[in-house]
Amino acid sequence: MSKITAQVQQTATATVQEWLSDFDKALQAQDIQRVLSLFNDECYWRDFLTFTWNLKTCEGKDDIQAMLNATLNNAGPSNWQLEGEATQNGDIYDAWFTFQTAVASGKGYLRLKEGKCWTLLTTMQALNDYPEQCNHHRPKGAEHGANKQRETWLESREREEAELGYTRQPYCVIIGGGQGGIGLGARLRQLGVPTIIIERNERAGDSWRKRYKSLCLHDPVWYDHLPYIPFPENWPVFAPKDKVGDWLEMYTKVMELNYWSSTECHNARYDEAAGEWVVKVKRNGEEITLRPKQLVMATGMSGMPNVPKFPGAESFQGEQQHSSQHPGPDAYKGKKCVIVGSNNSAHDIAAALWEHDADVTMLQRSSTHIVKSDSLMEEVLGPLYSEEAVANGLTHEKADLIFASIPYKVLPDFQRPAFEAIKQRDAEFYQKLEGAGFMLDFGDDESGLFLKYLRRGSGYYIDVGACDLVASGDIKLRSGVGIERINPHSITLTDGSELDADLIVYATGYGSMNGWAARLISQDVADKVGKCWGLGSDTTKDPGPWEGELRNMWKPTQQEALWFHGGNLHQSRHYSRYLALQLKARMEGLDTPVYGLQPVHHIS
């Protein structure tokens, strides 16, 4: 480190230490005006549970003042300490810190601009009186001494499996045993929350195994670890679906989760008088009624498959399937295949069909954001999630918090420069695609993939090769047209042309997660909690008003004791911590006054 660099770091560290000390004193004195004087006029405070028992972003001093007026007395924050050295990034000082509340330990990330706070992240890491059963609190595993009533670890585990759900009720039931439900189940296990995970497939990991055979993760390994057990160092950068499935099955076993496979939830209702859910499931042919206090829908970020209805569809003589039902390309050699859609699944399926000598046409009805995988990794993900980031001491836990520290309101400003660099880097690639007639976009405000994902969860493809086939014409493209009607052996398009078809794959995405609530609970409850996902950005498929956090995800909803958990592997891993802490706090009877429960603006 040069002398100048060391001096800059010393200045940044001293400035942050002084700010934290002043902040601590003002909070201890409950002097909210003094607290506000430490913030810039443009400022953001994103809190995960420590003050709000919610996932809540306050934007501007008025929002922060209202939040502190409501929460400061109960939160009891103290002992704000700088962790490590502060750093300088342009005119911004960045720093990690730790703190305490009345019931928990916290960790956060701070950005100062001109000596005052621009962005502040505060997150709950652990409940003081109810730590996870790991590290210093790990179980012994063996009972030393003599005991005629000794129960071995295996016997204890077998007894738990025999009792839970039958003679003893779980505190929590998770509907959905994919990576989201499994990761959350592991968090709850470590916190001692009796939990059953309900999964209709025969084995953990089947939700991956049963997808089309070419499916691989498009996110790199450094971004995708599960809680507690990271992928090994020889794990492929982009994990194939069957490898993911086997990992999930192994994880479920070694984390000793109460995982009910071959079990389907038929319906659920909330018993207000008893303060519990009545959940009816069928397990291996047996009808069972569970009565948990908390119910989590972990059916993935996506809700019910979105299958459009077109006139004449019932007359089609070939095969029609949603992308989630597509078995793979093997049976379609020489067949005329039409893929409706142009997202990740559409491109993956189209490329695999082409590789198996099918005649493939992609029907693109609206513009799509495309980004090459290598470019995404190097320009966007690399600084936080890469081998180089790990070598620089940036664990995925730290990377998760850095990413979370950027308020959604300003995230587009952070993302645009990277995607502008990608536009320049891959200009020739984009020209070829557009030359083939492909309709491209970078989001409504040019902010790229992550914002499109957060706002609508659709409308993009991370290119791993299919785009070259589209550009060359090997995958035929019809863009800017829709389907007028479906005939016995063809599709009539809205421009009057006709496509012969033996197979139609609807790569048309999914509805909101509350569609599962409508199916399993009631439409009234689905409407009560409202739409899941989206920020209220008033961009395509994400109607306003601005909400500042993802709707209904990982936090309290308008329906008591009903929670939603999902997202990609990174989100499931990171946010499962906060959802598990909320559930544990309620189980232990802690006071959890929720500040800023989101009103419902959209029901689907």
Q: 542-556 pLDDT, tens per residue?
A: 999 999 999 999 999
CA distances from 396 to 223, 384, 387, 488 (A): 7, 8, 11, 52
How far is the C-alpha of 568 from the C-alpha of 369, rounded, in Å?
18
Q: Is the pLDDT of residue 301 over 80?
A: no
Is residue 266 located within the same domain as residue 335? no
> What pLDDT is attached to residue 145?
85
Domain boundary among 82, 107, 127: 127
Confidence of residue 50 (pLDDT cuts 50, 70, 90): very high
Domain that holds residue 343: 313-506
Mean pLDDT of all residues in 308-313: 94
Q: Is the pLDDT of residue 436 over 90?
A: yes
Which residues sit opposite 280 in a β-bridge? 267, 289
Give how many domains the chain has, as a whole number. Answer: 3
Q: Which two tokens stand for residue 138?
A: 């790990």
Q: Is the pLDDT of residue 561 over 90?
A: yes
Q: Is residue 367 part of a domain?
A: yes
Q: What is the DSSP string of 480-516?
A: S--EEEE-SSEEEETTS-EEE-SEEEE---B--THHH
How far is the C-alpha of 460 from the C-alpha of 449, rounded, in Å?
7
Q: What is the DSSP string of 561-589?
A: TEEE--SSHHHHHHHHHHHHHHHHHHHTT
Is residue 451 located within the same domain as residue 349? yes
Tens digits of residue pLDDT in 104-163? 999 999 999 999 999 999 999 999 999 999 999 999 888 888 888 889 999 999 999 999
Is residue 365 located within the same domain as residue 489? yes
What is the torsion angle, in degrees rounded to the nearest 10, for the CA atoms of residue 321, residue 327, residue 332 and residue 338? Answer: 30
Mean pLDDT of all residues in 309-333: 94
Is residue 333 located within the same domain as residue 402? yes
Buried b (16+ CB within 10 A) or exposed e, 353-375: bbebebbbbbbbbebbbbbbbeb
> What pLDDT is attached to residue 211?
87
Mean pLDDT of all residues in 300-304: 66
CA neighbor of 177 nearest in space, from 263, 54, 50: 263
Is residue 104 located within the same domain as residue 245? no
> What pLDDT is attached to residue 56?
98
Q: Are 30 and 23 spatial neighbours (Cβ–Cβ below 8 Å)?
A: no
CA angle 571, 574, 576 (to 5 degrees): 95
Q: Is the pLDDT of residue 532 over 90?
A: yes
Q: Is residue 593 part of a domain?
A: no
Is residue 459 located within the same domain as residue 324? yes
Burial of 138 (0-12, 13-18, 19+ CB in 10 A): exposed
> What pLDDT is attached to residue 142?
84
Q: Is residue 143 part of a domain?
A: no
Q: Is the pLDDT of residue 2 over 60?
A: no
Q: Is residue 387 part of a domain?
A: yes
Is residue 180 located within the same domain as residue 296? yes
Tens digits of residue pLDDT in 372-385? 999 999 999 999 99
pLDDT > 70 in the chain, percent:
99
Q: Is the pLDDT of residue 439 over 70?
A: yes
Q: Is the pLDDT of residue 6 over 70?
A: no
Task: Name, in order, each residue with C-beta under 8 angstroms of 311's C-beta and a sequence gap of 6 or more.
Answer: 484, 485, 486
Is residue 467 located within the same domain as residue 403? yes
Task: Say which CATH number the domain at 104 has.
Answer: 3.10.450.50
Q: Is residue 379 part of a domain?
A: yes
Q: How many CB atoms lie within 10 A of CB 527?
A: 16
Is residue 456 located within the same domain as residue 486? yes
Mean pLDDT of all residues in 436-458: 96
Residue with tokens 């959209």: 602
Confidence of residue 302 (pLDDT cuts 50, 70, 90): low
pTM: 0.96
> What pLDDT is attached to residue 31?
97
> What pLDDT is attached to residue 273?
97
How far out from the chain centre does Cα 304 lie? Answer: 17
Is residue 270 located within the same domain as residue 385? no
Tens digits of residue pLDDT in 201-243? 999 999 999 888 888 998 999 999 999 999 999 999 999 999 9
Is residue 198 located within the same domain as residue 234? yes
Is residue 107 located within the same domain as residue 24? yes
Q: How many CB atoms lie within 10 A of CB 74?
A: 15
Q: Are 289 and 271 spatial neighbours (Cβ–Cβ below 8 Å)?
A: no
How far is the C-alpha of 2 from the C-alpha of 6, rounded, in Å?
6
Average per-residue pLDDT in the chain? Answer: 95
Task: Say which CATH number the domain at 429 has.
Answer: 3.50.50.60
Higher-confidence residue of 299 and 17: namely: 17
The residue length of the chain stands at 604
Task: Name, in order, each residue with C-beta under 8 angstroms of 256's C-beta and a sequence gap of 6 or more.
Answer: 157, 189
Q: Is residue 192 part of a domain?
A: yes
Using DSSP's 3-state secondary structure scheme, residue 408 falls into coil
Q: Is the pLDDT of residue 3 over 90?
A: no
Q: Is residue 171 part of a domain?
A: yes
